[in-house]
Structure 1
Amino acid sequence: MFDCFQNAQPELHIARPEFGPAVRDVLSKARFARASAEIRSWSGYRPTPLIELAGIASALNVSSVHYKHEAARFGLGSFKALGGAYAVLRVLQDRLTTQLGHKVSFKDIHTGKYSDRISLMTVVSATDGNHGRSVAWGARRFGAQCRIYIHAEVSASREEAIRALGAKVIRVNGDYDAAVAQCRWEAERYGWFIVSDTSWQGYSEIPKDVMAGYGVMAREITSELTEPATHVFLQGGVGGLAAAVASTFYQHWGSTAPLNVVVEPELASCLMASAKNKSPTAVRIQRETLMAGLSCGEPSELAWDILEQSVSAYMTIPDDLVAPAIKLLASGQSGDTRLKVGESAVAGLIGLFCGALNPKLRDRLKLTPESRIIIIGSEGVTDPEMFHKMVTDDLPMDGAEPA
């Protein structure tokens, strides 16, 4: 069941974080609290399950593994629902406040007080899929127009899911970073409002709001666990998810917060490169990874400020481990609850498998029989065709459906 992970040779880079002020101040407790209070008030909000995988924990000789399963988040299928939509609300609030010369509240927007003005506003974003769905959903929810830019390799099903939420979808030749570039250029030309989950020079407040939304997920975890985990394995990408979780956990648990391990595809390892160079470093994506949501060649500078001060280890993993991990969760081979998940959801789990089963990596990651692990299951099946290809005919035909 675990042979392919045991035999894998992922690259591991050990860092020595100092937990400086960025972990406390870039995303402050007050910003997290404001996002949490707003998002928890939305219709359809409910915490996603934190599922204990006792069979996997036993097989890996660790004390516990808890999997945060984001498949049902607001019906959008991923944790991204928390960030993009909330940031759309904040953009509209700030723009209206500027136009009108007085503070506009969230309540004013929810009740449609300024719907005529909002209907003339356009929010835009580049995406691999899930963030764009959240932005489109937020724009529809609050009454704004929306344009979403996707790159050449984004699947047709992900494109259609965004279009179904009322957004105009623009497909760009090239990779994710090319989509970001065109989105920025057209937004500046036409006066549209970018809602991005990555930051750059002069653009940081909106990504802060996106990451503050992600903090809702992390806060749900801290409210449910009776003691802190020892390790959390986090997806890479531009770094926003990892930064939000690391900040939330440190602000809640302090010196007993988990050791943070960032896991990203070999084909898109900008955070590993940044860690080695000790500064934000872009990498050229020569081939798209199966983990579509993590196919990012340039880190968020804002997220990097946090990660540099909070991450203890960086790991890169090959694409050929994605399907085995998805099959393992979907089939329940470990004796645990069967889970249907997407490609990006298993990055942290793969990192744990490789780290726990390789004696050298296990020692370097300080994994022991007493270790308590958190895995962020960042998405459900957001691309059904890809999921079908991954699992083929290997699921048991007992009539039971994975969650």
Structure 2
Amino acid sequence: MFLRNAHSDHRRALEPADADMLALEAAADVEHHLQYRDHHAETPLVSLPGLAAATGVGAIHVKDEGQRLGLGSFKALGGAYAVIRLVLEEASVRQGRTIDMAALHSSDVRQIAESMTFACATDGNHGRSVAQGAQLVGARSAIFVHSGVSDARVRAIARFGAEMIRVEGSYDDSVQEAARVAEERNWTIVSDTSWPGYERIPGLVMQGYTALVREALRQIPAPPTHVFIQAGVGGIAAAVAGHLAIVLGDERPVFTVVDPARAACLFETARAGHPVKVPHGEPTVMAMLECYEPSRVAWRILSRAADAFLTVDEEDALSVMRRLANPVAGDPAVVSGESGGVGLAGFLKAVADPEVKAALSIGKESRVFVVNTEGATDPGRYQEIVGASPAEVLSRGAA
């Protein structure tokens, strides 16, 4: 399904609070924070000239977040960043002076962090980031996972010392349970989705994602003309779209949000013109995107900064994993998890449909940008789908 953005706010400037959250100054603060993180390195921008030629466009660039901060996902930029910011803010309040990242591991800050517990609901990647952030500062974490989260992903979170809490039902059920328990126990919720009265912390999570956009704009030969970004609750899509709108202004690219057809909460929100909750149905293989209600903050940004909305099917997601693992001649192999290549899957679906291709003005000069949002966060599942282990895929090098 394809839908142009017909909202009355389309192409308007972001609201001031959202513009501040995604501004250049805020993004610079995120990059300053990253200088103090272990395993920090800019993730690669991968060029796919073979696929570009095969699809009739000028260039395709993939920002590969599969090794971000050792966590295997772009989410490493969000949850941990929010946790650390919140600890430093609390330390600043208690000590009556501004506490910077340089003092993060001081005994005074650690003592304050030890009195704090951070909680969230997750499909896997966000919870891993929150748990890692809590461990880094000496705080506690409690991570709520729904019944669809694999045991491998639960173990990957638990290794950071998190208390793991299983919740029957969907991701949205785990969000509600996390909020309820956190209020009872005076824990701090660090969610990547927002709801009325709860926006600042999800805003910090989204702010963390701006680092990958800053890196990509430095790495890419010329700004993209078309961007396809996948969405669960919409945080990564809104962060990328909003920051590009601020940085590039009238020269910003045509931006398409890509949803799983089985959990198309942003597509249906765009169709309705206001946030809607879609009914639960059959689970999607795109587990990190299986969300049935959008983030209010993300929708507010996307209603202005997104140009179109597109859904992809289960086989689209599986096919793009295999395609990245077995690339066309001249392209490097890329390890992409079940949700990682969904933006690229959206582009491939768009360029194969003459009406959608024309609606998005995709042509031979188009420069396409997508984000591989995760690597093989469940290696066993990855091998089942692709037919090779992540290490085997990476050993292939360029095709």
TM-score (norm 1): 0.93
Quick one: which of 286, 307, 311 aligns to 1:312? 307
Aligned length: 392
Report the aligned-residue RMSD. Answer: 1.9
In structure 2, list runs of 5 or more residues that go unmatched: none
**1:361 matched to which residue of 2?**
356
Aligned equivalents of 1:41, 1:98: Cα separation in 2: 22
**C-alpha contact (below 8 Å) 1:330/1:402 kept by paired residues:** no
Partner of 1:275: 270
Distance (whole Å) between structure 2 residues aligned to residue 207 and residue 35 of structure 1 = 15
Q: Which of residues 5, 9, 28 in structure 2 aligns to 1:15?
A: 5
Partner of 1:300: 295
CA distances 1:273-302 after superposition (whole Å, capped 9, x unpaired): 111111111112222211111001111101
- With 126-135 and 329-338 compared, the bigger mean Cα shift is at 329-338
Report the CA distance shift for 1:394/1:303 in structure 2 as closer, same or farther (over 3 A). closer
**For residue 26 of structure 2, what is the aligned residue in structure 1?**
31
1:340/1:381 contact within 8 Å kept: yes
Inter-partner Cα distance in structure 2 for 1:155 and 1:398 = 23
Counterpart Cα distance in 2 of 1:224 and 1:142: 31
**Pairwise CA distance, 1:26:** 4.7
Residue 134, structure 1, aligned to residue 129, structure 2: yes
Decide which of 46, 56, 63 is 1:61's aligned counterpart.
Answer: 56
CA contact (8 A) 1:222 1:252 kept: no
Q: Which amino acid aligns with 1:157?
A: A
Q: Of 56, 81, 86, which aligns to 1:91? A: 86
Unaligned runs of 5+ in 1: 1-10
Does structure 2 retain, via aligned residues, the 8 Å contact 1:123–1:193?
Answer: yes
Q: How does 1:231-242 map to 2 (within 5 A)?
A: 231-242=226-237
Is 1:103 the counterpart of 2:94? The answer is no
**Structure 1 residues 394 and 92, CA gap change in structure 2 (3 angstroms):** closer
Aligned to 1:195: 190
Structure 2 partner of 1:350: 345
Greater shift after overlay, 130-139 or 249-258? 249-258
The alpha carbon displacement at 1:320 in A equals: 1.6
Contact 1:35–1:209 (CA<8 Å) still a contact in 2? Answer: no
Shift of 1:41: 3.4
Q: Deviations over 1:147-187 (max 9, x none)?
A: 10000010111000001111111111000001101100000
The separation in 2 between residues aligned to 1:401 and 1:153, in whole angstroms, is: 32
Identity %: 38
Map 1:121-270 onto structure 2 (within 5 A).
121-270=116-265
2:103 paired with 1:113: no
Query: Aligned equivalents of 1:122 and 1:181: distance in 2?
Result: 17
| 1:399 Cα deviation after fit | 9.6
Residues 228-271 of structure 1 deviation map (CA, whole Å, 9 limit, x = unaligned):
11000001111110111112212221111111100010111110
Between 1:159-168 and 1:279-288, the stretch displaced more is 279-288
Deviation per CA, 1:114-154: give whole Å up to 9, x if none: 32231121111100000001001101111101110000010
2:61 partner letter: H
- Displacement of 1:359 in angstroms is 1.2
- After TM superposition, where is structure 1 displaced by more than 6 Å over at least 4 residues in a row? none
Structure 2 CA distance, aligned partners of 1:357 and 1:398?
26
Moved more, 247-256 or 374-383: 247-256
> C-alpha separation between the residues in 2 aligned to 1:380 and 1:257?
28
